[in-house]
A and B are shown apart, each in its own frame.
Chain A
Amino acid sequence: MNEESVSVGQDYKCIDDCAVLSIENLSGDVYCMRLAGRHIAHQCSPGQFVNLKVTQQYIPFLRKPFSVCRRDKEAGWFEILWKIVGTGTAAMARAKPGDTFNVIGPLGRGYREPQNMTTAILVGGGLGIAPLLFLCEELRRNGVHVEVFFGARSASDLAMVDVFQEMDVTVTITTEDGSAGTRGVITEALIERLNTGFDIERVHLFSCGPTRFLQSMIHITETFGIEGQIAIETMMACGFGICVGCPVRAREPKPGEKQYKLTCIEGPVFGAREVVLDG
């Protein structure tokens, strides 16, 4: 294993050739890959990501960012989850155990665990479930009560539901076509849950998913007056702050403060009131 890591302050990223340990087609076009990487497995926290070089050729040209979905410190592996959307993700799905991918990570700022929190509500839209799985494992280990809400278009977009169910957490599922769970959208199920009551000081909402979904999450945290964090996805080149290509608009920056935050180093997890999502 070729690990070139030097830590600078909290900057624990390394560049590493990671061997594929296993690859699994979870459902439809959704895949999960387990990669060997002791450094990343040890240093990553929930919500952080890795930037993976898909091919030695030049199409796709850039690395592709993936949230760490699970890790095992002892065994020295981490997992990523993806759906085939283009040539790069299709090429990844053809990988075999023993193949290697060059990976930079762990990158970005992950979820913060608030003090006093006793109930964590995790809300995932589509593949937004990936970092929430890692988060769920950590929160359960710390004795936090966790409720999971998971929305997808249809049953074929669902992944890892069984893993959550094994973790002693309540799992609510909705699909738009009704092929799994309740027919509908997850925001409705979440609102229904919040209407049953909660301790505003001790509940915290963690979410990850597409932009529209996260806009709803921001809205819900405001409506119910609860604290929350969102993990966003943007176009990204380097993943560690040098290309400056992944800005997200800061919400109400004070005079002298920056108008944009960089998703790769200041995110991808932001406070629900920290940024404005356009589009």
Chain B
Amino acid sequence: MVDLSTKLGRLSLKNPVLVASGTFGYGRESEPLVDLNALGALITKSVSLEPRDGNPPPRIFELPAGMLNSIGLANVGVEAFVREKLPFLRTLDTTVVVNIAGRTADEYLAVVRRLEEEQGIDGYELNFSCPNVKKGGLEFSQDPRLTASVTQAVRDATERPLIIKLTPNVTRVSDVAQATAESGADAVSLINTLLGFAVDVKTRRPRIHTGTAGYSGLAIKPVALAKVLEVVQHVDIPVIGIGGIMGVNDALEFLITGACAIQVGTANFIDPCTGQKIVQGLIDYCAANRIGAVSELIGSLKMWS
């Protein structure tokens, strides 16, 4: 028996394979296709205080081994989430983390306060890093001081585990991770999408209505791994690795680099069973290599001497 459990601050998970926010809806959409209980945790689509329609189309564009998206955090809003989505999530035998998006510190706080009244939520992930909905052209987590102050404010409002999702679109992501560590976050998750752009040369229009968009998929994995490496080397906080994870080998790369868990994102659009398959793949890898616990793998990177 391989011990797959992992710990992210005060959040304990049965295995380190999570599904990323915005790539798995609110769980029910994938239910006929996937064993949701096989997942270490399900992270919901971002929930904001009010419902959001999202951005005008085109919202997505396909690229070699990746894609651009600019959805604009289309979501049902916190009240409809509690009423329509949460009852189903409560029936699952897996950890449920609610991802929260806001335009201001007050909006994050208001959503958290509302969710604090509800049972069946195991933690929060604060989306400080959507490249498609910005306050003054900046993502929250591009500013370490703003990141620290909002993290602290939310920390003071909940005992539940708190994950901060970071943008890679900064010079030093470890500075931002440090700010969250000092403000009471349990873990950081990275990377959110890279800022990308593409042009249709026939029409000379941007491929995405909003112009710039978030770049994700297998193609971004090396960038994601480098950002994870930077944080694990410089900051004392558990890291959840995200970016281009398509299968168990990709997941292993992140764990060996030092991530305590991983999130499957864009791969869910292609195969919603990816997370479930990675869990099985980790069991097989550990068994084949006589590894008793996945925790032995985490940070087991052997640098060249």
Contact = CB atoms under 8 A, between A and B. Distances in A.
Contact of A8 (B31, B57, B71, B218): B31
A278 B57 contact: yes
A244 B271 contact: no
Interface string A12-30: 1111000000000000000
A244 B72 CA distance: 10
A176 B84 CA distance: 50
B67 A260 contact: no
Nearest to B31: A8
Contacts of B32: 5-8, 11-14
Interface stretch (B58-66, B108-116, B174-182, B283-291): B58-66
Contacts of B271: 15, 53, 102
Interface string A241-252: 111111111000
B270 A244 contact: no
Interface stretch (B21-29, B254-262, B293-301): B21-29
Contacts, number: 111
Contact of A15 (B54, B63, B272): B272
Contacts of A241: 25, 29
B23 A243 contact: yes
B71 A59 contact: no
Given A53-B270, A61-B270, A63-B270, A104 B65 contact: no
Describe B's contact surface by its main secondary structure. loop
Given A242-B25, A245-B69, A58 B33 contact: no
A225 to B, nearest CB: 29
A14 B31 CA distance: 10
Interface string B34-76: 0000000000010000000110111111111111010100100
B65 A242 contact: no
Nearest to B63: A61
A254 interface: no
B17 to A, nearest CB: 17
B217 interface: yes
A13 B29 CA distance: 10
A260 B23 contact: no
Contacts of B269: 62-63, 237-238, 242-243
B268 interface: yes
Interface in A211-256: 234-238, 240-249
Contacts of B53: 258-260
Contacts of B67: 61-62, 237
A4 interface: yes
A62 B60 CA distance: 11
B59 A245 contact: yes
Contact of B62 (A14, A235, A238, A278): A235
A58 B30 contact: no
A13 B57 contact: no
A278 B56 CA distance: 10
B153 interface: no
B263 to A, nearest CB: 14
Contacts of A14: 32-33
A58 B64 contact: yes
A62 B62 contact: yes
Contact of A61 (B24, B218, B268): B218
Given A53-B270, A60-B62, A235-B58, A260 B74 contact: yes
A234 B59 CA distance: 10
Nearest to B26: A242
Contact of B30 (A53, A102, A240, A259): A240
Nearest to A87: B64
A239 to B, nearest CB: 8
Contacts of A12: 32
A14 B267 CA distance: 17
A259 B52 CA distance: 9
A240 B29 contact: yes
Nearest to A259: B53
A104 B217 CA distance: 20
A238 to B, nearest CB: 4
A61 B57 contact: no
Contacts of A7: 32
B191 to A, nearest CB: 18
A238 B268 contact: yes
B23 A247 contact: no
B273 interface: yes
B23 to A, nearest CB: 6
Contacts of B25: 241-242
Nearest to A243: B269
Contacts of A53: 270-271
Contacts of B59: 235, 244-247
A243 to B, nearest CB: 5
B199 to A, nearest CB: 16
Contacts of A237: 60, 62, 67, 69, 269-270
Interface of B: 22-25, 28-33, 45, 53-54, 56-67, 69, 71, 74, 217-218, 246, 268-273
Interface of A: 4-8, 11-15, 53, 58-63, 102, 104, 234-238, 240-249, 258-260, 278
Shortest beta-carbon contacts, A-B, top 4 = A245-B60, A242-B25, A58-B65, A259-B53
